[in-house]
Amino acid sequence: MSLASRKFKATAPKAIDDGVITEKALKDFECRVGSQLRIRNIFNEIASKDAIRKFADGIGDGNPLWREAAYASQSEYGSIVAPPSWLNSVFPTWVLQGLPGVHAIHISTGWEFYRPVYLGDTITPQCFFTGFEIKSNTLAGRSVIERQEARYFNQAGELVAMAQPVGFRSERTSIRQNRKYMDLELPHPWTEEELLEIEDQVLGEEIRGANPRYWEDVELGEALTPVVKGPLGMTDALAFCIGAAPVQIKAHGLALKEYRKHPAWCFRDPVTCALEPVYGVHYNKAAANACGLPYPYDAAVQRNCWQIHLLTNWMGDQGWLQRCYAEYRKFVYFSDVVWLTGRVVKKYIDEKGESCVDIETRAENQRGEDVMPGRATVLLPSRQTGYCPLERRLR
């Protein structure tokens, strides 16, 4: 008799593990501080044309500098380059480590960008555990704020960029019992008229591109043309996974081997009975519910990529994103819409003679919540001085 024809006794599906933050777990965690962490989920090591295009597709960024060889050959770069956010697809800035079974949420990222990623570059990441703090609150009970640092090097050993992510580690049982997020009306009850208006706003995005934005032309208080994302859906989540693979997503026996080695990485879906990665909270309702959340939600690095999309659209091909910072507040659930906006708050010449513009960014959902306050410094070309930010960064 084949396995397919056998009758099996039903057993309770394996739920997402509920890790506990014990004193022993914290002592083990403390011993890790200062160490270089092993990176398991390196995805795009080589900046191939396909890898760059699929990533840009996965965040909805249509800038021709990332994808059109004829266009990019006329730019200062001379070829296709990767958007700054592409480094998230090499390695999403932090390693899930220590505190087994304890839920992890990415809460902020700060970036510094030093060199472009050219077509054909090979990028090698490193990650270090820099410290943590113990917290306690009514929502998550005992929790931990975890800090790491990621560094990205090209094949010449040059530091391309550095990221400083912060994570929030909490016990899932406390979150479920609190039920803070379970009262939202999801999916959001959009009308057809509202959806058509949102779609027009999505298509109203402006890519500055080859038209230089000069430092002299920027005014304090100037608003950036919005970038609109949503309503967020399953395909958006899958497209990001295809382009960025924020976790190792494998199928069938390859996945099972990983889950047998690391049971805390997976759970059994109560509907399909399939083993799914805990990362499934970003596209699987059962996974999200098991963590005390009503609906699947976006990945933090995905949202950070939207912020960078807004900034690179505005600055044009001759601008340089020097640094940016984003905090991930609230969740962006399936059916939510996010309006990414920015405002110029300062312009100045720094001590190196570079023409700088400081920008505050927002990411507001349909409930009026800023789900990602942030800031950035952009370097722009100058007519008066002839300054070009790319001259100091191109090979």
* pLDDT tens track for 61-74: 999 999 999 999 99
- Give the pLDDT mean for 170-191: 75
Contacts of 136 (CB under 8 A, 6+ apart): 142, 143
Report whether 291 contacts 16 (CB < 8 A).
Answer: yes
* pLDDT tens track for 234-269: 999 999 999 998 877 899 999 999 999 988 788 899
Beta-carbon neighbour count of residue 183 at 10 Å? 8
* pLDDT tens track for 75-134: 999 999 999 999 999 999 999 998 887 888 999 999 999 999 999 999 999 999 999 999
- Give the pLDDT mean for 22-28: 91
Report whether 98 contacts 25 (CB < 8 A).
Answer: yes
How many Å apart are CA 27 and CA 31, to the nearest integer? 6
**H-run or E-run covering 42:** none
- The predicted pLDDT at position 118 comes to 97
- The predicted pLDDT at position 136 comes to 80
* pLDDT tens track for 289-333: 888 889 999 999 999 999 999 999 999 999 999 999 999 999 999
Mean per-residue pLDDT over the chain, rounded: 91
Domains of the chain: 23-379 (3.10.129.10)
